[in-house]
Amino acid sequence: MHSFTLLVAAVVAAGLALDYWLLLRQQRHVARHRNAVPEPFRDRVTLDEHQRAADYTLAKIRPTWLELPWGVILLLLWLGGGIALLDQWLAAVLHQPLLHGTALILTVLLVSTLLELPFSLYRVFGIESRFGFNRTTAGRFALDLLLQFGLLLLLGGALIGLILWLMISLGSWWWLAAWLVWSLFSLLLMWLFPTVIAPLFNRFTPLPEGPLRERIEQLLARCGFRSQGIFVMDGSRRSSHGNAYFSGMGAAKRIVFFDTLLEKLQPDEVEAVLAHELGHYHHKHIRNLLLLSFASSLLLFALIGWTLTQPWFYSGLGITNANPATSLLLLLLLLPYFTRFSQPLMAWYQRRNEFQADRFAAQQSGAEPLIQALLKLYRDNAATLTPDPLYSAFHDSHPPAPLRIAHLREL
């Protein structure tokens, strides 16, 4: 067997074993602590609320035991002849190489999404409904899926087609131009998202005049933050989970609150949540993450450019009719498995940012309102207070609840 084939098999198998081990740790850790509220939370979280969060966490784990091997099976089907058969069929139908290549990549992405759809349906209409979070309907779910497919075909198709054209036209230095296109495309999406893409899925209305808006505007003035507006999103159309976020870039930044969040929090708690988000901008976390993304993608495109010139890459994956589209597709399919082991590093960096944003929020609005807001969100969203530390280190971009609350209480 080819040495690269063995390497790919070993990486996929090691990734699957790691995921199963972490899932087992999380499952056992949450179940072991199900019958006792952690001491720092006993005066604010009831045992029933704690057990509901544990049961919700365990319920979300169960389908993952099947979803992980299903993803590996799909990978083996594509590598074991699926891509080659689809490539041959499309070549007979679409004779223009650029159109043929774009159609190949989009078809594999769409088919993979459809084959994984049962797991999404079970999560939304099974688990989320059972725990009282789901508010979407089958019709709305289908419409969202069609919109996502439409955006993939329109925006994804344009990006894929342009990158394939660069691969065909620019020779060995195509990867540098492709990285530049990818970076500009990312910035374009950030600019388009708040005013063009997000309104396709939700309604956004300006936050009404009143004490809450005045309080938020005073906070923005203290922090020197300018935005295009403060909006309320109808998140309750799909779920009872609450959230808040910033979107856009430059002068087009928007502040968005889920309507479900505003229903649950007091004005000082809403202010504290917003102050936390402002902390990310104050410490330039958004900019730094963007620069980190650009730097890592540059290295990735350089690696892709080098890999595609190596015959062992194709022979090791059983590809006899190599072309730019199949090459790019193979890397898209394999990349998640090869980057899985770097997850803790990125998660550590993001959790560090969260602690900094919490400190900023405590300075601007006080630590106690943010503690109260977080406790309500943990409780209402049924977020476990007892995640396994190692599982959390791989999967959680936010610090575990005990560490985050303890940090705020120190402040």
- pLDDT, one tens digit per residue, over 8-47 is 899 999 999 999 999 999 999 999 999 999 887 888 889 9
- Mean pLDDT, the chain, rounded, equals 89
Would you state the pLDDT for residue 166?
92
Q: Which of 300, 296, 295 is nearest to 335 (CA)?
A: 300
Task: Report the C-alpha gap between 184 and 191 in whole angstroms.
Answer: 11
Whether residue 250 has pLDDT greater than 70: no
Beta carbons of 163 and 180 less than 8 angstroms apart:
no
Whether residue 182 has pLDDT greater than 70: yes
Q: What is the DSSP string of 265-318?
A: S-HHHHHHHHHHHHHHHHTTHHHHHHHHHHHHHHHHHHHHHHHTT-HHHHHHTT
The angle subtended at Cα 163 by Cα 335 and Cα 286, nearest 5°, is 65
Q: Has residue 383 been placed in a domain?
A: yes
Beta carbons of 369 and 268 less than 8 angstroms apart:
yes
Task: For residue range 334-359, list pLDDT tens digits in order.
Answer: 888 888 888 999 999 999 999 999 99
Collapse the DSSP code of 206 into the 3-class scheme (helix H, G, I; strand E, B; otherwise coil) and give the result: strand
Lowest mean pLDDT segment, chosen from 196-205, 247-256, 336-345: 247-256
Which comes out higher in pLDDT, residue 268 or 171? Answer: 268
Task: For residue range 47-104, list pLDDT tens digits in order.
Answer: 999 999 999 999 999 999 999 999 999 999 998 888 888 988 888 888 888 899 999 9
Beta carbons of 197 and 151 less than 8 angstroms apart:
yes
Q: Has residue 248 been placed in a domain?
A: no
Q: Residue 219's CB: how many other CB atoms inside 10 A?
A: 19
Would you state the pLDDT for residue 40?
79
Q: How many domains does the chain have?
A: 1
Q: Which domain holds residue 44?
A: 1-174+297-411
Would you state the pLDDT for residue 307?
81
Question: Catalytic positions, please?
Answer: 277, 358
Lowest mean pLDDT segment, chosen from 156-170, 179-193, 267-281, 303-317: 303-317
Q: Has residue 197 been placed in a domain?
A: no
Task: Report the C-alpha gap between 76 and 337 in whole angstroms.
Answer: 13
The H or E element that residue 372 is part of is helix 367-380
Whether residue 379 has pLDDT greater than 80: yes
Would you state the pLDDT for residue 190?
87
What is the band of 410 on the pLDDT scale with cuts at 50, 70, 90? Answer: confident
The mean pLDDT value for 173-187 works out to 93
Angle of the 343-365 helix axis to the 211-223 helix axis, nearest 10: 110
The mean pLDDT value for 95-115 works out to 92
Beta carbons of 259 and 204 less than 8 angstroms apart:
no
What is the band of 252 on the pLDDT scale with cuts at 50, 70, 90? Answer: low
Would you state the pLDDT for residue 138?
94
Identify the burial level of 211 via C-beta atoms within 10 angstroms of its C-beta, where 0-12 means exposed, 13-18 middle and 19 or more buried: exposed
Q: Has residue 245 been placed in a domain?
A: no
User: Helices in 62-133 by DSSP H: which ranges?
Assistant: 64-77, 83-93, 97-115, 117-122, 129-130
Q: Has residue 243 been placed in a domain?
A: no
What is the band of 251 on the pLDDT scale with cuts at 50, 70, 90? Answer: low
The mean pLDDT value for 263-288 works out to 90
What is the band of 183 on the pLDDT scale with cuts at 50, 70, 90? Answer: very high
State the pTM of this model.
Answer: 0.89
Give me the phi and psi of 254, to 5 degrees please: -125, 145
Task: Report the C-alpha gap between 148 and 329 in whole angstroms.
Answer: 20
Q: Has residue 196 been placed in a domain?
A: no
Whether residue 134 has pLDDT greater than 60: yes
Q: Has residue 188 been placed in a domain?
A: no
Collapse the DSSP code of 233 into the 3-class scheme (helix H, G, I; strand E, B; otherwise coil) and give the result: strand
Whether residue 1 has pLDDT greater than 60: no
Angle of the 267-282 helix axis to the 211-223 helix axis, nearest 10: 20
Q: Has residue 232 been placed in a domain?
A: no
Would you state the pLDDT for residue 114?
95
